C-alpha cells in the first residue's frame, strides 16, 4: 500500500483528497504548507506526493529538486 502525502494550502482540498484516498485503503497524510510537507517528508518518506504547484514554499523548483533526492538519506 503506498504512503501518500497530499499538499495544498486549502484545508478543504487536503481533507477531501485524504478522505477519498483513505476510502480506497491508502495510507495518507496531509500538509497545508511547503514547510509542513518537507518536515513530514524528512521524517518518513512517501511513495506519492500530490500537490498544488503554486503553494507558498513548495513551488515547482522545490518539487523538482526534491524529486531527485527523495530517496537520499537526510
With the CA atoms of 32, 35, 36 and 40 taken in that order, what torsion angle do they form, in degrees rounded to the nearest 10? Answer: 140
| Residue ranges of domains in the chain, CATH in brackets | 3-69 (3.40.50.2300)
Number of CB atoms found within 10 A of residue 12's CB: 8
- Asked if the model's pLDDT at residue 56 lies above 60, the reply is yes
List, for residues 20-48, the tens digit of each pLDDT value: 999 999 999 999 988 898 889 888 889 99
Q: Please state, in angstroms and rounded to a whole number, the distance separating the CA atoms of residues 15 and 29.
A: 9
pLDDT, mean of residues 50-72: 60
- Asked if the model's pLDDT at residue 72 lies above 60, the reply is no
pTM, rounded to two decimals? 0.75
Amino acid at each position: 500500500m503506498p504512503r501518500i502525502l497530499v499538499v495544498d494550502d486549502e484545508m478543504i482540498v487536503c481533507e477531501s483528497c485524504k478522505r477519498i484516498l483513505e476510502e480506497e485503503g491508502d495510507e495518507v497524510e496531509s500538509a497545508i504548507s511547503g514547510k509542513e510537507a518537507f518536515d513530514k517528508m524528512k521524517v518518513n518518506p512517501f511513495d506519492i506526493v500530490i500537490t498544488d504547484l503554486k503553494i507558498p514554499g513548495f513551488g515547482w523548483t522545490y518539487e523538482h529538486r526534491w524529486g531527485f533526492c527523495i530517496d537520499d538519506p537526510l
